[in-house]
Structure 1
Amino acid sequence: MRRFRPYFSYLKAVRGSIILALLCGIVYGAANGAGLPLMVKKIFPKIFDPEAARLTDWQLMLIALWLPTIFALRGVAGYFNSYLIQYAGTRILEALRLDYFRKLQVLPVSFLQRQKTGDLISRGMTDTQTLQTALTTFANDIFKQPTTLIGALGYLGYLAYTERGVWLVLVSMAVIPLCILPIRYVGKRLINRARQLQGQLGQVSERFSENLNAAREVRAFSLEEIEINRLRTLTNSLVVSQMKVTKYTQALTPSIELISAAGISMTLVYAYKTGLSLPAFVSIITALYTCYDPIKKLGALQNITKIGSAALDRLEVVLNAPNSIADPVNPVPLGRAQGNLAFEHVVLTYDNDTAALRDVSISIPAGTTCALVGPSGAGKSTFANLVPRFYDVSSGRITLDGVDIRDVSLADLRRNIAIVSQEPVLFNDTVYNNLLLGRHDATREEVEQAARDAFAHDFILTLPQGYETIVGERGATLSGGQRQRLAVARAFLRNAPILILDEATSALDSESEAAIQLALRKLVVGKTVLIIAHRFSTIRDASLILVFDQGRIIDAGPHTELYERNPLYKGLYNRQGSFETA
């Protein structure tokens, strides 16, 4: 169990429930392992032995109460054991999922881009559930089942000491170690099958996620049957893996029972040879049977821990992933920045050794409206994404007001930056709460004023519940122009000194674009602005234009100068095309 030892810390928060559950498990095990065989040995002869003394009614009642007392003790202890373990398990599951989700919030964007969304969801839901089951089952059975086994073996030892010939019967107990063989065999084969199964569950989740996110495209291109067949292929493989896991887990119980039956048969032979009395024989059989049941459950526990280990392998891809973009140990206080940006010999190389930016150096004074221009893949979006530290430079540095942004806390840095992207994300919440994301402590009046500045207030009032209208997943109930205006309103509310406009109007109709362009002219006043846009009418009036090509800034200046001297810029401007962002 060394594999799970680092995660036993999750048990600390519920240790009171775990301890009480374990005590109940010990009581259950003692009543089950020793109580029942002892009853058979001590109580039954007093009732069924014709040579025994005649019992009074009170004696008979007391003897008869032994059985319900044992079962009542066993039942109550077993109930509270199961209930408390389930309570602890639910709390552990909550903590696991929160830690997993918390880690996802701080991992670099580059890590998330390398993963599949559906698979990450599967790890956070299915794998955490599997690991919780493994931890709580282990915490439950690791005491209850051995206690039952020890109780039964202890009773057999007692018989060996008190009964003539029982040593011969105890020889039959040699079969108990043989039960370990199928447990080890199944365990070795199960872990690989479990890893494969967990991975395929992630693939199915990813298939669902991708399909639902592309619902319009699936219908537009009549891909329904193709999508169904793709999922069918995955689920067929999933079924095969599930049945392989089932094959091994279900084979364990009959294997142990077969070995157990052989042991009981040997006991029967030895009992006959030694002339053992019937009460002693029945109590031994009861004790032996009680031995085999915890062995079966401990074998099942072995299987569960193997499956839990496979789930843990998948969770640790996230939980142990290095957070390369973290707060400095002693962050430099920034406060409200002026907005002076400087890139000094910046190089960014992705994990596949592809250089996205090559030796980029540029100074952008506070209050500058800076447009980023270039063909697709030239490095424009990468350049802008380095400012809020969505990525970190491979070499060189970026400064804000002369301070290396890596020396500033992420919260402090990002508080000074507002972003309006091509596809703004709205959460499945009210309009008001989506706007409040711009600044959590804003008043109602400030939120509504930001909406007016973004020309969003009027359309918000026409919604069924106004500002309290639920916008749907990713703002599905709103048009593209409405979503974009809410994004601009959030930027107004944030009022950050640095503004990044990433294709903010490229996908809008002319009416929405005109309204948003009017709002943006007001929004950019007094701010350092980075504009990524392919509509040159948007950037022609920028005070500084940077021309990117193959990860380098090949030219910089105002529109008139660049149009005269830079062939790439002139060609892009003349085509007035729409390009994808880098």
Structure 2
Amino acid sequence: MGFLRLYGRVLLMLGGDRPMALGLGIAALALAALQFLEPVLFGRVVDLLSRSDRMEPAALWSEATQLLVIWGIVGLAGIGGNVAVGLFADRMAHRNRLRVMHDYFQHVLALPLSFHGDTQSGRLMKVMLVGTDNLFGLWLGFFREHIITFVSVVVLLPLTLVLNWRLGLLLMVLVVVFVVVSVLVIRRTQAAQAKVEDFHTRLAGNAQDALSNVVVVQSFTRLNSEARMFGDIIRQVLDHQFPVLNWWAIVSVLTRAASTLCVIAIFVYGTVLHVRGLATVGEIVSFMGFATLLIGRLESAIGFVSHMVFVAPRLADLFGVLDARSSVPEAPDARDIGRAKGEVAFESVGFAYPGGPPILRDVSFTARPGQTLALVGQTGAGKSTAMALLQRLWDPSEGRITIDGHDLRDLTLESLRANIGVVFQESMLFSRTIRENLLIGRPDATQEEIEAACREAQAHDFIIRQPQGYDTVVGERGSNLSGGQRQRLAIARALIKNPPVLILDEATSALDAATEARLQKALAALMAGRTTFIIAHRLSTVREADEILVFEGGQVAERGPFAALVAQDGRFAELVRTQLAGGAVPAH
């Protein structure tokens, strides 16, 4: 039943093209009827010739001409119908393949970081490309060819009972045996093929993992080890695939044998019936035509069904991703806040990952518009988690977070995130031009606005020195630029977006002290007039913050300005002394 449900969903995914799919189904019924008529007409011609010696020549020619004309019309109509069905099925399959690909891509991008953290990007790409390709093949094959087979078996095969019920029953028994054998093989191979697809997914994931870390692979001389690991998975694929192929090879042999046996059985039984006066020669010829036609189509259908078995796990993977739900669902009545003033409040916020220990407990603070708050503390204290909650990458387990008094859960995700800009520790640039990277937050920005932001971010001068200026492609993850250049582009990107709330997530921790000092002017321009949250380990970067929140064990242990916290001689003062000993914090 799971197999049938899976392919029922494949057909339901045609969406707006369902009326066309219904029309193709009706066309398939008509084409099946035309194919049904051809053996009948052939049998009539044979019967006419068998009694030609007892007919007047004029009557013989008249009846023969009628039969041949009808046969010609049926043949031409069948050709025209097949061409039309093929064209419409082709266009429908292409259109829906790209639509599903677009929906999948949009859906995956909207899934929370918790989903992406557990799923390799290589696997997601493989699932999208392979899954949609298989959908295309199934739609095209089904509507262009195999739906006619299914219609013939279900609807037209019983009509053979009208011509000669004895021969009709024999034909039906042969077809039923054929179908039962195929169903048994499907049940035998379905689970095995699912294991094969699991190994294929591991192949894609391992390949993507190695390629995205090619520097590590080469630096640690992992070439042979990675290739050997890849080869081991390939061997496991083959070990599990060959038994499945063996079963379908047996079916293929049985199918070819069934075609011959079916024709022989009808010929022998038909001869017996003819001797007893229960079947004409024409009826025997017609049923031999039915048998040849049906067995030929069933052979093709079995190939189609075997293909369905092979691709079922791939489609299940595709549907599994499409069915993945966000851990931060948007409320049906979520509102667009417009441009916020920038007041952010955490009210007794607690958070724990599903099944995990508490990460945040009873965190409360308020950042008024234009204020700068710094979040400091040891790694794992909860700073980054708090800012992830502000962006609604997760929802609090307890309490609530508001922006301008609105609970984040009452806002649309798009309007919330449009009001928040983030400069990450790693600048995360796309392998696109500098201009395209800068326009990510605000695609309608003019060239003048782009250049003004880049000048504020101290980026314009190095950009115009690039080979194609703003049209220079920066490479994957900005690999063609230095760390400082990438970070200045990230700052310019945030300036162009112009959000009222800003998060600086370890924005300078990956840079050397000299580069960080050069970026301070750019960061000051970015923070001006915005509610800013600074996550920092280098305490020198939080000296000018209006308030510093010291996180420890998921709680705010201390809070206040830099000088006041140092004077308290508490946890923050201890952090300052530790970094002073390492020369990380200026003494004045």
TM over 0.5: yes
Q: Deviations over 1:162-182 (max 9, x none)?
A: xxxxx3685464332211221
- 1:280-319 aligned within 5 A: 280-307=283-310, 309-319=312-322
TM-score, scaled relative to structure 2: 0.87
- 1:252-331 aligned within 5 A: 252-274=251-273, 275=275, 279-307=282-310, 309-331=312-334
SS in 2 for 1:342: strand
Alpha-carbon shift at residue 309 of structure 1 (Å): 4.5
Q: Does 1:109 align with 2:113?
A: yes
Q: 1:308 to 1:160 in 2, by over 3 A?
A: same
Alpha-carbon shift at residue 446 of structure 1 (Å): 0.9
Q: 1:413 to 1:267 in 2, by over 3 A?
A: closer
Q: Counterparts of 2:162 and 2:174 in 1: how far apart (Å)? A: 19
1:555 counterpart residue number: 558
2:40 to 38, 41, 48: 38
Alpha-carbon shift at residue 423 of structure 1 (Å): 1.0
Alpha-carbon shift at residue 349 of structure 1 (Å): 0.7
Gaps of at least 5 residues in structure 2 are none
Q: Is the 8 Å Cα contact of residues 563 and 569 (structure 1) preserved in structure 2? A: yes
Alpha-carbon shift at residue 534 of structure 1 (Å): 1.9
Q: Does 1:225 align with 2:229?
A: no
Q: 1:50 to 1:109 in 2, by over 3 A?
A: same
Q: Deviations over 1:529-562 (max 9, x none)?
A: 1111222221233222222222222212222333
Q: 1:194 to 1:173 in 2, by over 3 A?
A: same
Q: Size of the alignment, in residue pairs?
A: 573
Instruction: Identify which range, 490-499 or 247-256, moves more after superposition.
Output: 247-256
Q: Is the 8 Å Cα contact of residues 484 and 515 (structure 2) preserved in structure 1? A: yes
2:97 to 68, 93, 96: 93
Q: Is the 8 Å Cα contact of residues 47 and 280 (structure 2) preserved in structure 1? A: no
Instruction: Identify which range, 1-10 or 556-565, moves more after superposition.
Output: 1-10
1:477 to 480, 483, 486: 480
Q: Is the 8 Å Cα contact of residues 26 and 144 (structure 1) preserved in structure 2? A: yes
Instruction: Identify which range, 387-396 or 462-471, moves more after superposition.
Output: 462-471
Q: Does 1:77 align with 2:76?
A: no
Q: Counterparts of 2:516 and 2:568 in 1: how far apart (Å)? A: 31
Alpha-carbon shift at residue 248 of structure 1 (Å): 3.7
SS in 1 for 2:549: strand
Q: Does 1:374 align with 2:377?
A: yes
Q: Counterparts of 2:574 and 2:337 in 1: how far apart (Å)? A: 41
2:180 counterpart residue number: 181
Q: Counterparts of 1:6 and 1:184 in 2: how far apart (Å)? A: 20
Alpha-carbon shift at residue 564 of structure 1 (Å): 4.3
Q: Is the 8 Å Cα contact of residues 33 and 147 (structure 1) preserved in structure 2? A: no
Q: Is the 8 Å Cα contact of residues 169 and 270 (structure 1) preserved in structure 2? A: no
| Partner AA of 1:386 in structure 2 | L
Q: Counterparts of 1:495 and 1:169 in 2: how far apart (Å)? A: 77
Two-structure CA RMSD over aligned residues (Å)? 3.2
Q: Deviations over 1:187-245 (max 9, x none)?
A: 21333233323332222221122112111111111111111111112222223344344
Q: Is the 8 Å Cα contact of residues 127 and 198 (structure 1) preserved in structure 2? A: no
Alpha-carbon shift at residue 488 of structure 1 (Å): 0.3
SS in 2 for 1:390: coil
Q: Counterparts of 2:77 and 2:139 in 1: how far apart (Å)? A: 26
Alpha-carbon shift at residue 354 of structure 1 (Å): 2.6
1:351 counterpart residue number: 354
1:164 counterpart residue number: none
2:528 to 525, 537, 543: 525
Q: Counterparts of 2:152 and 2:217 in 1: how far apart (Å)? A: 58
Q: Is the 8 Å Cα contact of residues 152 and 291 (structure 1) preserved in structure 2? A: no
Q: Deviations over 1:400-425 (max 9, x none)?
A: 23322222222222222111001112
Q: Is the 8 Å Cα contact of residues 333 and 408 (structure 1) preserved in structure 2? A: yes
Instruction: Identify which range, 473-482 or 209-218, moves more after superposition.
Output: 473-482
Q: Deviations over 1:471-507 (max 9, x none)?
A: 2332232222221111100111122221111111122
| Partner AA of 2:82 in structure 1 | G
Q: Deviations over 1:235-273 (max 9, x none)?
A: 222233443443344433333443444333333332443
Q: Is the 8 Å Cα contact of residues 18 and 84 (structure 1) preserved in structure 2? A: no
